[in-house]
Structure 1
Amino acid sequence: MYDLSLVVAVLAQSWQAKLQGFIILGCIAVVVVVVNVVKLLRLCIPPVMDDSFCNWYNGKMVAVRRKLLSNLKDFQAKTARELTVLEVGVGGCGDFIYLPKGTRVIGVLENGEDLKKVSNNSVDTVVSTLVMCKVRDPTDYVREVKRVLKPGGMFCYMENVQSRERKTRIVQNLLSPLSIFFVSYRLTRQTWRYVDVGGFDLLEYSIIRAPLKRCLSIFSPHLVGYAVKR
């Protein structure tokens, strides 16, 4: 006769092994589904640098951009020469209408990492829009901006930064990992610190609330300013 307890133990082990196998296969299936859903979501989300985003953003920031770039008129008057401008970031061609007459745009770069391709002391002005919240190393970016500017050149920038309001800052901290993953934006960078230690003269900036409403309000804290190379 069979030992009933032994049979039960063998069957239990068999079912336990099968159950573990099903659990492992189920976990693998969930991971595969999640990975593919994330890939699909990333494909569905338009690139931050595409024309539609640039046009939308530029439309929202007209007054801020006009005020920021108005400094170039005084700068041009002091230099008494044609200004060469390098545009970096999502501003794109949207900035051209605000530049003073006699300005020559020598390049438009979407990626701040691309400054390494620009020669030393080659431009009068770098106009930077939403760049330091995306680059891997903002300290290196500021250093590169200073390198490509001519002595006395101006660095104009408009950047998304960490909010000074506690509630908004909490939301930024919670959503920052998703923002980095999907659109490479760091919502919690204190970008003014990188400019402060950049070794510029005539450093002037302010933190404002951009006119971005509802779910985009976490992007509204902006650092707007300019600095002049020694």
Structure 2
Amino acid sequence: MSFEAELLNATGGADDTFDIRASTRRCFHYAFKDQDVRLWDGIGVLIADGHEWIGTVDVNGNNMHKAPTVKDTRDGTSPRYTFSIPYVDRETMEAMRADDDKVKGRSLTCYHVIVKHDEGMRPGTALRFSYRLTMQSANFSDAVEGGPDNLKRVYSPSILARSGEVGRSRTPSGTYTDTSQRERARLAGFASDSFCSFVAANSNRTYTIEGT
């Protein structure tokens, strides 16, 4: 059963009297060079898609993984997003700090998972893709936590990520305006190119596509 069908089945219809029998959570895959980090918005270790996903919610219900809301990029923008990973060990932090390639250009993918009440920590429904970003760089912070008898130093990286539109305006065919498109046509030896003539006029229109 697909993710959408499973979700509809779990929530029921207008005539159903049962409580919602499932919840959806986010799963994050940081594809660092030579090391994958998989986290999910829950408690404990989740087994999904053949991998272990480490829960980032503590016993008090606080999510230690800070993930911003990612917007739709069809308007052509590429906002900066900062993700804060709860803890890494010192060895991992030093390796990431010494080699920018461990982070830069690597993918950060978000999925949704359905967790049903009778499945425990092994959901049977496949993950649903939500979005993918490209990691740009990492910053690191460290702090001492705990009391006098159990002091420990923790390391927390912050990852700067952007969508696939990053840098588009700097590429030869990146920015599409009527003026720039006509200039490209001229440089290519064509008399005219009206491909973008109506982009501005259509920007505020709403199109409804019907079908099955």
Same fold (TM over 0.5): no
TM-score under structure 2 normalisation?
Answer: 0.23
- Larger RCO (alpha carbons 8 Å, 6+ apart): 2
- Higher-strand-fraction structure: 2
TM-score under structure 1 normalisation?
Answer: 0.22
Tell me which structure has the larger Cα radius of gyration.
Answer: 1
